[in-house]
Amino acid sequence: MYLSKLFIPLLKENPSEAKIKSHQLMLRAGMIKQSSTGIYSWLPLGFKIMKKIEQIVREEQNKIGAQELLMPTIQSAKIWRESGRYDDYGEEMLRIKDRQGKEMLYGPTNEELITEIFRSSIKSYKSLPQLLYHIQWKFRDELRPRFGVMRCKEFFMKDAYSFDLNDEEAKKSYNKMFFAYLNTFKKLGLTAIPMEADTGPIGGDLSHEFIILAETGESKIYSDKRILQIDINNHTDTEDSIKKLREKYDTYYAVTDEKYKNEEFEKKVNKENQLVTKGIEVGHIFYFGDKYSKPLKCAVDLNDGKKVYVKMGSYGIGVSRLVGAIIEAKYNNNIMRWPDSVAPFDVVIIPSLQKNDRSNYLKAEKIYNTLVKNKIDVLFDDTEEHLSAKFKKFDLIGIPFQIILGSKSTDDKFEFKEINGKTESKSMEEIKNILLNKRNLN
């Protein structure tokens, strides 16, 4: 991609409405634009990063056997009346009438709709277990939307739903998802701590929030800091290994403030291991048994002719929130630092360009074509801005590698720099190999 063609409306100043770093940087880098309170358009750079995050979330869901489908954003009020949540959800739910006066709503979550889909198609215990998910926009008319994409009204969420025959099987699905979540956040370069949490309007009595540590987070957390040392790489996706991993996490105290009890914390965690800080909730998983299947009459036939309500759980990841959360967890001064897995481009070529001298442009173009041929996602800054202005811009956007064609580059050696790292002189071949190796590691 040539920078001159990229739609990227950069801002020079910090917008006054943005209180936290991720919000400021996302606006400055032209990633999002507010269209009304708590509702954003995703501009090409922000959208590209969000799509990469979405893809990692999807791959990890598929790995544990979850199947993707797509439910609509607009739902009928009827099924929400069946579950009893139409009234309970209160003002957070955006209610709409269609031209026939039928009551509809913009889905804040999908427990009812997926249960309705399931009950109309699955009749026998033989079809269980099932894990279904979709990645779709949600709407919650939040009382205080704030911090940009962190707490907004319209947001992009991956929500999965498990269907099992009994509690024991359902807990296996829960643990599978627990495992997939740890892997997902790791792939995104984040350390997420699963914390026992309140279940709120979703319900049930077993729930974990996945929290990444960040001072600007909205969740207060109390934990044994040794939980951060658990290495998920020592675990495979077998049932037994996943169970052991879950047990490891359960041995350490880790709760959000709704579950916090001072005496318990003091008793269970030595002073030197106590971690009291703030974090961002990037995922939340719930087990609620037959809370929805019972009122919605979602039952399957058993072997002996009896019927049983399916046992369900639901599992959310805030895909759009993750864009902001990654920035919060990783930024350095005013530089966004993307893990390679979600960086908007693999590398940027930054030549010093003058009107009356085409030599750097031609060199840069040659490098660009070689990298593109090797399927490296490269941005070419073909503008005539001064080098120092270009550096500022790319520091802000946070592309992991830079190839600089300035006074120090020769015909076959160029300045190559990892963001925040040292500049080294490298040949085209060396640069290509470094970038290809990086990609293979991801």
Contact residues for ligand 5CA (CB under 6 A)?
109, 111, 140, 142, 151-152, 155, 157, 159, 202, 281-284, 286, 314-316, 318, 321
CA separation for the pair 94, 89 (Å, rounded) = 10
Q: Residue 281 or residue 395: which is nearer to ligand 5CA going by CB?
A: 281
**Contact assessment for residue 175 and residue 243, using Cβ atoms and an 8 Å cutoff:** yes
In contact, 142 and 151? CB cutoff 8 Å: yes
Is the N-terminal amide bond of 339 cis, ω within 30° of 0?
Answer: no
Distance of CA 371 to the CA centre of its chain: 28
Residue type, 71: M
CA-closest candidate to residue 372, choices 427, 417, 438, 432 = 432
Is the Cβ of residue 24 or residue 256 nearer to ligand 5CA in the bound state? Answer: 256
Instruction: Give the nearer residue to ligand 5CA in terms of CB position, either 23 or 284.
Output: 284
Which lies closer to ligand 5CA via its Cβ, residue 217 or residue 351?
A: 217
CB of 61 to ligand 5CA, least distance (A): 12
Radius of gyration from C-alpha coordinates of the chain: 25
Percentages helix, strand, coil for the chain (3-state, rounded to 5) are 40, 30, 35
Q: How far is the CB of 310 from ligand 5CA (least distance, A)?
A: 16
Instruction: Compute the least distance from the CB of residue 155 to ligand 5CA, in Å.
Output: 4
Q: Measured between alpha carbons, how far is 360 from 365 in angstroms, rounded to an integer?
A: 8
- Residue 284 Cβ vs ligand 5CA, minimum distance, rounded to whole Å: 3
- Of residues 140 and 235, the one with the C-beta less far from ligand 5CA: 140
Residue at shortest CB range from ligand 5CA? 318
* Closest CB to ligand 5CA among residues 256, 352: 256
The answer to whether 230 and 191 have CB atoms below 8 angstroms apart is no
Tracing tokens 């359960």 back to the chain, one arrives at 250
Whole-number minimum distance, CB 124 to ligand 5CA, in Å?
A: 26
Which residue, 320 or 402, has its beta carbon nearer to ligand 5CA?
A: 320
d(CA 212, CA 35): 28
Residue 274 CB, nearest approach to ligand 5CA (Å): 25
Minimal distance, residue 332 CB to ligand 5CA, in Å:
24
The encoded tokens of residue 265 equal 């914390």
Q: C-beta of 125: minimal distance to ligand 5CA in Å?
A: 24
Q: What strands, in cross-sheet order, belong to the sheet with 347-351?
A: 378-380, 347-351, 401-405, 413-418, 423-427
Q: How far apart are CA 334 and CA 351, in angstroms?
A: 22
**Rounded to an integer, what distance in angstroms lies between the CA atom of residue 427 and that of residue 434?**
11
Dist. CA 164–CA 285, nearest whole Å: 16
CB of 108 to ligand 5CA, least distance (A): 7
To the nearest whole angstrom, how small is the minimum distance from the Cβ of residue 318 to ligand 5CA? Answer: 2
Residue among 143 and 389 whose Cβ is closer to ligand 5CA: 143
Token pair in block for residue 274: 């106590």
Place of tokens 């490098």: 367
Query: Would you tell me how many other CB atoms lie within 10 Å of the CB of residue 271?
Result: 6
Q: Which CB, 142 or 382, lies closer to ligand 5CA?
A: 142
Comparison of 157 and 376: residue with beta carbon closer to ligand 5CA: 157
